[in-house]
């Protein structure tokens, strides 16, 4: 699939109300795709997609509910005729937004935080794939993981665990999905300037712009081979590149 071939494709994006999801929606719409944004925050996603205008539209979605996933996928297919590409981007961290990220992670190491983070970061991806696989038109799934999927993030063990999990899930599914004509990629961003990032982290680390990740997504979707890949996008100057796992020497492309 080249960038020209993205034109007219129906793309769904979770977590599309703000941050990386909203930037991806804007870039894909500019590339000619028909973008359907999905987010639990109806007011925020309505504002984002009002700026995009028709034919782009949105649905509210609780990614942690398989029932909601199945209902919304069915509705989108009824309205659009198909789904071609899915970007599973929705994600949260253990702390509430704005809470300092450099306090002890044990403060937030509790059942409620674990259930909340797992529901969005892991269940949201797993249920999304479950709902999408039966759709014969889906050819690409892109899972938004994190640099925390490659190198543990001590400040947020639950976030790290769920991002490791979605990376493993995608890689384990890759060969089976390929047999169905679906390529699944995993993108691992570094520190990105989004509302998800706590203020103390913003003051301590250089944050890359969301535009960088949106451009990386477009680049990945523009590659035309059928293999699944793991990508990292840590620094705009370094750019998008395949990930090499030092512990395992290299994450080989799924054959």
User: Taking phi first (over 0 means left), then psi (-120 to 50 degrees means alpha), and beta for anything else, what does residue 56 get?
Assistant: beta
Beta-ladder partners of 86 = 12, 141
Helices and strands (H, E) in the chain, number of each type: 9, 8
Q: Phi/psi of residue 83, each to 5°?
A: -125, 130
What whole-number distance in Å separates Cα of residue 158 and Cα of residue 138?
30
Half-sphere exposure of 64 (CA within 13 A, CB side): 10
Cis-peptide into 55, omega within 30 deg = yes
Active site residues: 159
Q: 3-state class of 44 per DSSP?
A: helix
What whole-number distance in Å separates Cα of residue 12 and Cα of residue 16?
9
Tokens of 235: 């620094």
Q: Phi/psi of residue 102, each to 5°?
A: -100, 10
């Amino acid at each position: 699939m080249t960038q020209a071939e993205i034109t007219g494709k129906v793309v769904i994006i979770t977590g599309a109300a703000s941050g990386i999801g909203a930037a991806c929606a804007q870039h894909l719409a500019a590339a000619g795709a028909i973008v359907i944004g999905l987010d639990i925050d109806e007011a925020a996603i309505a504002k984002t997609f009002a700026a995009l205008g028709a034919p782009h539209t949105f649905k509210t979605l609780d990614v942690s509910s398989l029932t909601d996933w199945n209902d919304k996928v069915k509705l989108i297919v009824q309205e659009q005729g198909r789904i071609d590409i899915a970007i599973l981007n929705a994600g949260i961290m253990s702390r509430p937004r704005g809470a300092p990220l450099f306090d002890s992670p044990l403060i937030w190491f509790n059942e409620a935080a674990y259930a909340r983070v797992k529901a969005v970061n892991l269940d949201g991806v797993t249920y999304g794939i479950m709902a999408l696989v039966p759709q014969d038109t889906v050819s690409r799934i892109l899972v938004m993981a994190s640099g925390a999927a490659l190198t543990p993030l001590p400040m947020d063990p639950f976030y790290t665990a769920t991002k490791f999990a979605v990376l493993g899930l995608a890689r384990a599914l890759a060969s089976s999905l390929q047999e169905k004509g679906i390529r699944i990629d995993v993108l691992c961003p570094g520190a990105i300037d989004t509302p998800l990032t706590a203020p103390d982290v913003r003051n301590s680390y250089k944050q890359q712009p969301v535009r960088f990740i949106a451009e990386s997504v477009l680049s990945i979707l523009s590659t035309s081979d059928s293999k699944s890949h793991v990508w990292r996008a840590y620094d705009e100057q370094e750019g998008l590149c395949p990930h090499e796992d030092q512990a395992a020497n290299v994450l080989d492309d799924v054959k």
